Chains A and B, each alone.
Chain A
Amino acid sequence: MKMKKLLSLTLVGVMAASMIGCGSSGASTSETKTSDQTTSGSESSSEEKAEGSETVASNGEKLVVWTLASDLQQFADKYTEETGNEVETVVIEPADYPTKVQTALMGGETEPDIIVGEPQMLQDFYDNGFFADLDELGAKDYEGQIVDYVWKVGQDADGVQRAISYQITPAGIYYRRDIASEVFGTDDPEEIGKLFADYSTILDTAKTLKDAGYRIFASDSEINYFSGDSAWVVDGALNVSDARFDYMDLVIDLYQNDLTAYANQWSTPWYQAMSGEVPILTAEIQNYEDDSVNVWDAEAFEEATADLEKTTVFAFGLPSWGVLTMRDNVGETSGKWGVCSGPAYGFGGGTYIGISSLSERKDLAWDFIKFCTLNEDTADWWIEKSEGDTVSLISALDKHKDDENSIYGGEKLYSFWLKQAEGIDYSKVTKYDKVIGDAWGAAIGSIKTGQAEKEEALGTFYDTIESTYPEITVTR
């Protein structure tokens, strides 16, 4: 009888275990994003057409836009307001975007009319013939009106214009002017830029700041945007330049010598570091294999960091759209920031707009692209609407070159970004960059955290490239 009771208890136990999932699944799903896609139909009557507008009339047809940046939804609304042409905008998560576009176009769908891409997706889109030829629609007439590197990113291997972006995204170092004055005796962007001139200088700057009680960066990923000064693939061969190894060493040094605040990029403490003091999370705290300190629950985190030194972070490395990120997070430090150049010219992201090669409304779609990228009124509107995004239309940048940004102590950011953009050499960008860059990042990550020796990590890196792209020659 006793045995039976024991068995019954065991059975109930197993049952309870199987019910865990049933009971908690509601809570789990409620935490997930409820919608990956949002559809917004921007409708307006033709009576709202702008006076003297040279735009194409839609003849009652609706333009369908698939985008991964919600910004384009605002452009679509504005376009409808100005022209009366109806636009349906579908915002798709960036991770799903290439697959969805690929599925739609390979399935012969004539919608969407407008598709977009970030630089790392574009080469594949071009090679697969997803984007229509914009030169046939007259894009050539506008050459020289858009910042050079953006114009070139929008061209395929044969130099045919396939996409245009409304923004430029050169990278810069956002730094605290007050700390710069205190530690280095100057807050001049030119002078501070020299402290970030190359990787070894950055390491010295980091050490100086640490001695002064500050940390150079919140995370060790801040220089990533500047690390692409050489092409990953040259003449079909993998090219790991000395600068790549220097970058690797810098990241490892920053991590292993506690030169950052150990806040992972895009994490809450990383954003908090923009507005003031944060605890310095040492390598031991970050290392979950070490049982000395718990940092995984809020209470334990408070406890563990209570006695730790606090610091203020000196700088962040971000593209020009970082202006908007900083705007939302600097809090009381507003006005104390400056922006200077980094160790190399680099850029990150950017939404490039093109027309689906299967679209049946190419003229209307081209009209929409011109409205978003080549229209000075739109550029003015967007600068104001976005509160500081950097447009790609040269005439608009010229017009705003003397605009002062109060968050950055009145610095003239538009002229700064234009200068940075002029230095970008797009010929160094290849379609392999995303995958190779990720593999390189994984190698750096495993070395810095001690999960792999340098040789082993590099071996895995080379193996990954070889197995993913057999067409690339890998010399170790």
Chain B
Amino acid sequence: MKTIKRNSKLTAYNNWGYAFVAPFVIVFLIFSVYPVLRTLYLSFTDLKVMGDAHFIGLANYIRVVTDKFFWKALWNTVRIWTVNIVLQLGLAFLLMMVFSDIKYKMAGLPVFRVLYYLPNLIAATSVAFLFKTLLDWRFGTFNILLNSVFKAFGARYSPIDWLGTNATAGHTIAVIQSWMWFGNSFIMLMAGVQGISKDYFEAAAIDGAGRWTIFGKITLPLIKPIMMYVAITSLIGGLQMFDLPFLMSETASASYGSVQTVMMYLYKFGFTSGTVQTGYASAIAYVLFLIILSVSVLQIRLFNRKEK
């Protein structure tokens, strides 16, 4: 009898737990679960902007996979992301190596950490306008500076339309993305390095291991989980790239086709007047979700296999 009483008391007490999590669960259901399910439903309909949505089966999905502009946009996204991640991680890695070197014992890490992180604090809109101004074909500081340098050497400089030509637009955006994000990756990697016990480094140094050996045999294997985290989050963020390419390109520009990312393509059908097809935009969103999911799983497996 006693046990039953205690249990019912406990149950009543536990019920308070539901009350405490209820606000989060309600908000989560309304703002996360519902939109996700609603988008899934819409992706099987022909809804344009308002009005009735008719079920059309997999038609939108078939359209996405056979739409060459979708694949072009995906290719653009991957191309921009690849250049970006190589530069971003490369620079972060280099800085991490310098700051974690036990022989150099570089001073001022907290200051540099803040300074490198600063570009990440500027709103993407400001970054876009800033670089659009700096990189302007005719009046931009970059071209003016390059022109002065060429002039000083008696050469003639042909101004480069950084954001206006197919050859440079994507790479330019990738470099700016790297500039924005390398500080973030650097902090992550440094956190990983600082988590490694100093004993390993000292023992290795006493055993006569060189800088590269220590880096290759101790640092690198031990920060792998962090590297994986950085790579996966960057990939997920990278495949959803929107703000910079969107703000720095113009639909009328000749280079637009080379910087239109999947999210920009989705935006065209989700929100641009004249082309709004909500059902199709939803299907693009789900195909992108599936792509990100597959690539992330693949990435985790690859990392795990290497570890084994």
Contact = CB atoms under 8 A, between A and B. Distances in A.
A159 interface: no
Given A15-B115, A32-B129, A438-B252, A129 B51 contact: yes
Nearest to B115: A15
Contacts of A449: 254
A14 B91 contact: yes
Interface residues of B, number: 52
A25 B156 contact: no
Chain A binding surface, main DSSP class: helix
A21 B127 contact: yes
Interface stretch (A50-58, A98-106, A137-145, A312-320): A98-106
A4 B251 CA distance: 48
Given A7-B106, A14-B95, A294 B254 contact: no
Interface string B77-121: 000000000000001000100100000101000001001101100
B48 A19 contact: no
B116 A288 contact: no
Contacts of A288: 137, 158-161, 164-165
A128 B51 contact: yes
Interface in B126-180: 126-127, 129-130, 133-134, 137-139, 143-144, 147, 156-161, 164-165, 179
Interface string A345-363: 0000000000000000000
A294 to B, nearest CB: 6
B273 interface: yes
Contacts, number: 134
Contacts of B207: none
A277 to B, nearest CB: 22
Contact of B98 (A11, A102, A445): A11
Given A121-B273, A438-B251, A470 B63 contact: yes
A200 interface: no
A463 B91 CA distance: 40
Given A297-B138, A470-B63, A128 B126 contact: no
A470 B64 CA distance: 11
B11 interface: no
B273 A102 contact: yes
19 contacts: A7-B98, A11-B112, A18-B116, A18-B119, A19-B115, A21-B119, A21-B127, A21-B130, A21-B179, A22-B118, A25-B130, A124-B49, A128-B50, A288-B158, A288-B165, A290-B158, A296-B159, A297-B147, A463-B69
Given A28-B130, A29-B129, A129-B50, 16 more contacts: A14-B91, A21-B122, A21-B130, A28-B129, A98-B273, A105-B50, A124-B49, A124-B274, A127-B48, A288-B137, A294-B156, A297-B138, A432-B274, A442-B254, A463-B69, A467-B67
Interface of B: 48-51, 63, 67-70, 91, 95, 98, 104, 106, 112, 115-116, 118-119, 122, 126-127, 129-130, 133-134, 137-139, 143-144, 147, 156-161, 164-165, 179, 183, 251-252, 254, 257, 268, 271, 273-276
Interface of A: 3-4, 7-8, 10-11, 14-15, 17-19, 21-22, 24-25, 27-29, 31-32, 98-99, 102, 105-106, 120-121, 124, 127-129, 288-291, 294-297, 300, 431-432, 434-435, 438, 441-442, 445-446, 449, 451, 460, 463-464, 467-470
